[in-house]
Chains A and B, each alone.
Chain A
């Protein structure tokens, strides 16, 4: 195939093309691409006095491996994810299933369930902190009516992550329900009619029709919930202040990164945490992509 010399009109069109993508591409290179490379570079440096950094090889990573606070923060984050993702998704599937039945008022339910996901996490955390208050909190009052003596939820090392996890589920459940409901509504009614003619029971219909056809949507919700869970910051930051006795039991990886970078001023060390997080998220994403072939069915 011989290369044609570009005509004047082609060149003019190219210039339009470059012109239209240039502002965005320039911004992405400056504020995203370059920072990505710089973060990786900085993870191999030590931040000294006056913000001057010197190369120190893999020392940050070696230090990280021996850093108990880091491991604790990783454990806290994973506990949060393992607690919220399966329960949250299961709950969302049930709610989406109920909303998909032929009943009145579904759009009203939808709107209300969606509300927590549009509201500011900081404001939501503020009210849940108040609800969880050990002395005057609404939760303990309600439990008191039932004859249960509540704990001081956010300052007890055994309950703090559960308490935050519940808020996490409360926040995201409606959002995931909406996505799953759209997935359910996308399943053609032909399948169900055919199953009804064959006299299939509800359990059989769920496992043989609904679940496989909904699996791409479930997969999408799972990946996004997992990644969001790993990045948890706002709610924990708001509900567990630095002065809290359970600070160590609740600090997430992103919080530990934030503290190192912007409070302790150790930019090199913080970068190594960011790089490890990046690697972890990539690993999980790749793993899920591989694993999905076993259960996700795309038509």
Chain B
């Protein structure tokens, strides 16, 4: 028995070391954000600030446009999640459960888009946004991301796994297609929709390149490019940079802590299915 306990202790030791490596950058980000600029470059460094000052946070929040950018990011994320999941669920149901001429051909088209790396779409997408006169607007931030081949594929799979009898019974009761979809099938695929929502949310909130491409006005930006611009703006003022970083990751981290089961299980299942 002694040998087994030793083995367990060793495993815990390695796993705890892993936690240390994972947490340390977050710890450093948070404690730096509460330091004064002098304290942040003090040698040897101090692990905790001498007092928990909110000056750096106040400076970030007082920065022109920071709150606007925060709002932009929230709007973009909410619209992208609702729009993409809604459109993908409708189409996923159509492809999984309704027979209509040309269905398989259209689905092959979707599979094709799914396999193509996203960079190749970027420039023509930019030109479309430009032609629509939408550069430097909020809709530019989310428009192409409302449509997803991956999301459609994922939700189609989950509709396919539901028993057919449910629909047939509802059909006999005189429900319309949309009622069947909305009232019966949609609630049964909740876990897949939650998994997709989380993936889309993470992407929309954290994305750097697309906002950088379509919007140049600081007022119409999202958080990730704003953090990038803070590097040159605040040079060696690390507490302010770290305060910006803390504020930018906070909403997703809080959601992750509340819904950790859904976050992790959604990812775990993609690998097993894939």
Contacts and interface: CB of A to CB of B under 8 A. Distances in A.
A23 B26 CA distance: 42
A138 interface: yes
A31 B143 CA distance: 9
A98 B11 contact: yes
Nearest to A11: B100
Interface string A4-41: 00000000011011111101110111111111101100
Q: Which of B100, B124, B224, B263 has most chain A Cβ within 10 Å?
A: B124
Q: Which of A25, A124, A135 has most chain B Cβ within 10 Å?
A: A25
B190 interface: no
B172 interface: no
Nearest to A115: B22
A41 to B, nearest CB: 9
B117 A118 contact: no
A227 B32 CA distance: 34
A103 interface: yes
A132 to B, nearest CB: 11
Interface stretch (B40-48, B51-59, B64-72): B40-48
Contacts of A217: 271-272
B21 A21 contact: no
B120 A36 contact: yes
A46 interface: no
Interface in B109-126: 109-110, 112-113, 115-126
Contacts of B11: 98, 101, 103
Interface in B195-228: 202, 205-206, 208-209, 212-213, 223-225, 227-228
Interface residues of B, number: 99
Main SS at interface, chain B: helix
A230 B120 CA distance: 13
Nearest to A130: B238
Main SS at interface, chain A: helix
Contacts of A89: none
Contacts, number: 277
A231 interface: yes
A277 B119 contact: yes
Contacts of B245: 120, 123-124, 126-127
A25 B92 CA distance: 11
B269 to A, nearest CB: 7
A95 B16 CA distance: 11
Interface stretch (A61-69, A79-87, A155-163, A179-187): A179-187
B74 interface: no
A110 interface: yes
A90 B15 CA distance: 15
Contacts of B272: 179, 182-183, 186, 217
A281 interface: yes
Interface string B53-94: 000000000000000000000000000000000011011011
A270 interface: yes
B45 A234 contact: no
A112 B147 CA distance: 32
B25 A20 contact: no
B18 interface: yes
Contact of A237 (B101, B120, B208): B208
B259 to A, nearest CB: 10
Given A35-B124, A42-B123, A220-B271, A127 B263 contact: no
Contacts of A39: 120-121, 123-124
Contacts of A257: 119
Contact of A131 (B8, B25, B113): B25
Contacts of A114: 256, 260, 263-264, 267
24 contacts: A20-B98, A24-B87, A28-B149, A33-B112, A36-B113, A95-B18, A113-B22, A114-B260, A122-B224, A122-B225, A126-B244, A129-B231, A131-B25, A141-B44, A181-B268, A217-B272, A233-B209, A257-B119, A258-B213, A261-B122, A261-B123, A274-B119, A277-B119, A285-B115
> Nearest 5 CB-CB pairs, A to B?
A27-B147, A35-B124, A179-B271, A17-B100, A20-B94
